[in-house]
Amino acid sequence: MNFSIIMDAIPPLLNATLMTVMLAVVSIIIALVLGFFTALARISKVKPLRIIATIYVSMFRGTPLLVQIFVIYYGLPQVGIELDPIPSGILAFSLNAGSYLSESFRASILAVDKGQMEAAVSMGMTYGQAMRRIILPQSIRIAIPTLSNTYIILIKDTSLVSVITVTELLQMSTLIIAKTFEPLTIYLLAAVFYWLAITFFTIILDRVEKRASRHVA
């Protein structure tokens, strides 16, 4: 194992890791908003909203993420919508993760005892007030473990945007290998960077989950 190659590869791989993290963070923020409102639409009494939300979730959970990336980056220009690689990747990740998060939110909302909604309404609250003050705070705490898992998966899925030339960790590894002809060394080093990034966020998310659990208790 050539240590000089490793030392030379660390700075560009570190920069690429920051790109990977940025893609995941921006995408999960958008996905959280999208998933939350989609979940509300899925349980809404307004039928058109339920239908639209159900079709969206079915489409993005029922097709591979890589296909979604290709459709957005290569397909949309045919209908006059052209996006650069990074926005294309973020859009694909957000839509895909949002569909999964919507199911997590929906399940967590439905997991809250229906009696609490009935009690809130009997005290004079409107449906919206009861959701905002009673149901949603509890449901978000219930959903935290699933949300954390989705974010960890998203960090790993960012490797897929290497196919549309986004210079994230996997793409940078490929570029370095083309110069050094050391695939085993570079891919192992990239795996270490993925592992460190995921471990870091896992620790943070575990602390958030424990804090939320103590608050519930």
Task: Give the per-residue pLDDT at 217.
Answer: 47
Within 10 angstroms of residue 154's Cβ, the number of other Cβ atoms is 21
What are 141's two structure tokens? 């705490």
- For 105-144, write each residue's pLDDT tens digit: 999 888 888 788 778 778 888 877 888 788 888 888 888 8
Total structural domains within the chain = 1
**How much of the chain exceeds pLDDT 90, in percent?**
70
> What domain range includes position 212?
3-216
- For 74-105, write each residue's pLDDT tens digit: 999 999 999 999 999 999 999 999 999 999 99
Give the C-alpha separation, 120 to 204, whole Å: 34
Q: What is the CATH number of the domain that holds 191?
A: 1.10.3720.10
- For 140-165, write each residue's pLDDT tens digit: 888 888 888 899 999 999 999 999 98
Geometric angle at alpha carbon 168, from 181 and 194, rounded to 5°: 85
Give the C-alpha separation, 140 to 110, whole Å: 11
- For 34-64, write each residue's pLDDT tens digit: 999 999 999 988 999 999 999 999 999 999 9
Task: Give the per-residue pLDDT at 1.
Answer: 60
Q: What is the mean pLDDT of the chain?
A: 91
CB 65 within 8 A of CB 92: yes
**Between residues 130 and 190, the one the model is more confident about:** 190
> What's the whole-number mean pLDDT along residues 9-28?
96
Q: What own/partner pairs with CB < 8 Å and gap ≥ 24 does 186-194 have?
A: 186/5, 186/9, 189/6, 189/9, 189/10, 189/13, 190/13, 193/13, 193/14, 193/16, 193/17, 193/169, 194/17, 194/20, 194/155, 194/156, 194/169
**How much of the chain exceeds pLDDT 70, in percent?**
97
Task: Give the per-residue pLDDT at 215.
Answer: 54
Residue 194, classified by CB atoms within 10 Å of its CB into exposed (0-12), middle (13-18) or buried (19+), is middle
Task: Give the per-residue pLDDT at 214.
Answer: 66
Model-level pTM? Answer: 0.89
Give the C-alpha separation, 12 to 156, whole Å: 18
Which of 86-111 are b and which e, b meaning 16 or more Cβ less than 10 Å from the residue's Cβ?
bebbbbbbbbbbbbbbbbbbbebbee
